[in-house]
Amino acid sequence: MPVTDFKLPEKYQYLNGFNSYHESEAIPGALPVGQINPQKCAYGLYNEKLSGTAFTAPRHENQQTWLHRILPASAHEPFEPRETATFDTNPGSIHGTHKWHQIPNQLRWDPFDIDESVDWVHSLRLVAGAGDPTVKSGLGIFIFSAGKDMDPHSAFYSADGDFLIVLQHGALDIQTELGKILVRPNEICVIPRGIRYRVSLPDGPVRGYILELYQGHFTLPELGPIGSHCLANTRDFQAPIAAFDEDTSNTYTLFAKFAGHLFAAQQTHTPFDVVAWHGNYYPYKYDLARFATIGSIAFDHPDPSIFTVLTAQSDHPGTAIADFVIFPPRWLVQEGTFRPPWYHRNTMSEFMGLIHGEYDAKTGGGFQPAGASLHNVMSAHGPDAGTHAKASEAELKPMKVGEKSMAFMFESALMVGVTEWGLTKCAKVQKGYNAESWVPLKPRFKRPEGTQVMNGSANGKLGDKSQAPHWT
């Protein structure tokens, strides 16, 4: 059953659908009928276009939203640099003061601490990533942890990319230009590039992970032979309905993340003055418990791509700049099968986090909620020694894994570098990851007695195929 045990009741209404063309009016009649740019907008509103793709992007990719608002977004003073200890989040830039650490080691982090002293804007810590937002290429992986609401007279946007927010602790009450979204435990949220928002914390301190996508946008994965539904279903993505404030007298601070740096500008009206909007470029949330998981019902362990919630493809279809993959509660029933993940080396990089519970491939206790791991391009990994020993002897009856657990993976075709904060300053990198996980693996090989070793030469048995095994 797709159930999330929400303690915080939902308080907002939503529009359902993924990449749908929605429209929403907080005051009936605020949107024009049958045209985009009337000479005079209803109720004296200004009309403003927010482009999520190039004007000329093909129709199937084109994303835009029209905002009917009290004052245009441009009505603010110039931005000034607003440097902080945490904002220098573009190591890929030639102008940056720090560079990525590119290391082939498997990395694992202890749980990141909650920092109650900061708000959302000041809580973002770049831990790893690839590329450079100034050339709209690559991605950034952030850890956030905050204990304060953003000032009621402030808003934030990132010009660098789309935020995929994976909440690990607490709840986020997000007021966006397009309306309000409440993100509760086990829910994720996407805030596209440029959309202005303010985060408050209705349930105390928060913590989680962000994948910032510097290029393109998230889409739903193709379903191929799965057919027309399952995995993340279109109708389960929830966009806000229009909601606006009317303040044109107080001073507001508008924060912008631009090329990895923080800027601030003042304006004398609320940024949340959009009375109505229509378009397909909007923030949305998704409850991970709604994911209709597909898996093996016969034998063998499939690729984790069957658990893809959202994907952002590179120019080479099937190869992602970022896949967001989850490991939800599910039944394992495979016969004659080593059920945990196989040992592997991947041409893609794998950054993993744990929202709650225990991940079935790592049972040694080192991969904890709010912690993380990075298995970079071709960094060998797989079940730890304890998991291997247990799974190779286990009675293969149907079993439920991840009953109260949710791990996830950001998988990317790009080699992922680690920041100075991620490698040293955060002081969470585990020293003994290899020593605990794979170094204890013992050779189990037993050469069959009396058998001739061929080592590459055929012994006359070519073409002699034995029968596939039967387990029942």
Ligand X SMILES: O=C(O)Cc1cc(O)ccc1O
Which spans of this chain sit near Fe ion (rule: CB under 5 A)? Answer: 350
Q: In the numeric block, which tokens belong to residue 36?
A: 């985009």
Q: In the numeric block, which tokens belong to residue 5?
A: 């045990």
Cα separation, 442 vs 237, whole angstroms: 46
Per-residue contact track with ligand X, 197 to 236, x per CB under 6 A? ----------------------------------------
Element (H, E) at 433: helix 433-437
Cα separation, 332 vs 406, whole angstroms: 16
Q: Which does 132 bind (CB under 5 to 8 A by kind): ligand X, Fe ion, none?
A: none
**Is 359 in contact with 304 (CB distance < 8 Å)?**
no
**Is 143 in contact with 371 (CB distance < 8 Å)?**
no
Binding residues for ligand X, how many (CB under 6 A)?
Answer: 8
The answer to the question of residue 133 lying near ligand X (CB under 6 A) is: no
Judged by DSSP in three states, 425 sits in helix
Q: Which does 361 bind (CB under 5 to 8 A by kind): ligand X, Fe ion, none?
A: ligand X
Closest separation in Å from C-beta 305 to ligand X: 9
Closest separation in Å from C-beta 141 to ligand X: 16
The answer to the question of residue 73 lying near ligand X (CB under 6 A) is: no
Cα separation, 239 vs 370, whole angstroms: 27
The answer to the question of residue 295 lying near ligand X (CB under 6 A) is: no
The answer to the question of residue 361 lying near ligand X (CB under 6 A) is: yes
Residue 344 assigned as binding residue:
yes
The answer to the question of residue 76 lying near ligand X (CB under 6 A) is: no
* Residue with Cβ nearer ligand X (176 or 387): 387
Q: Which of residues 340-359 bind ligand X (CB under 6 A)?
A: 341, 344, 350
Q: Where are the beta strands (DSSP E) in 288-404?
A: 308-313, 320-327, 330-332, 349-356, 372-375, 399-401
**Is 47 in contact with 253 (CB distance < 8 Å)?**
no
The catalytic position among 98, 101, 153, 301 is 301
Q: Which does 428 bind (CB under 5 to 8 A by kind): Fe ion, ligand X, none?
A: none
86: burial class by Cβ within 10 Å (0-12, 13-18, 19+)?
middle
* Residue with Cβ nearer Fe ion (347 or 467): 347
Residue 284 assigned as binding residue:
no
Residue 388 assigned as binding residue:
no
Q: Which of residues 399-418 bind ligand X (CB under 6 A)?
A: 409
CA 420 to centroid of chain Cα atoms: 22
Residue 350 assigned as binding residue:
yes
Closest separation in Å from C-beta 344 to Fe ion: 6
Q: Is 301 annotated in the active site?
A: yes
Closest CA to 242 of 467, 42, 5: 42
Q: In the numeric block, which tokens belong to residue 107?
A: 């990395």
- Torsion sign, CA atoms 154, 157, 158, 162: positive
Q: Which does 304 bind (CB under 5 to 8 A by kind): ligand X, Fe ion, none?
A: ligand X
**Is 311 in contact with 59 (CB distance < 8 Å)?**
no
* Residue with Cβ nearer Fe ion (297 or 380): 380
Cα separation, 299 vs 285, whole angstroms: 34
**Is 188 in contact with 165 (CB distance < 8 Å)?**
yes
Strands 154-158 and 252-258 come out as parallel
* Residue with Cβ nearer Fe ion (70 or 401): 401
Per-residue contact track with ligand X, 365 to 384, x per CB under 6 A? ----------x-----x---
Q: Which does 205 bind (CB under 5 to 8 A by kind): ligand X, Fe ion, none?
A: none
Per-residue contact track with ligand X, 299 to 338, x per CB under 6 A? -----x----------------------------------
Closest separation in Å from C-beta 107 to Fe ion: 13
- Torsion sign, CA atoms 344, 349, 354, 355: negative
* Residue with Cβ nearer ligand X (341 or 371): 341
Report the first-to-last Cα separation within the chain, whole angstroms: 29
Q: Which residues line the annotated binding site?
A: 344, 350, 359, 381
Provide the annotated active-site residues. 301
The contact set with ligand X (CB under 6 A) reads 304, 341, 344, 350, 361, 375, 381, 409
Q: Which residues line the annotated binding site for homogentisate?
A: 359, 381
Q: Which residues line the annotated binding site for Fe cation?
A: 344, 350, 381
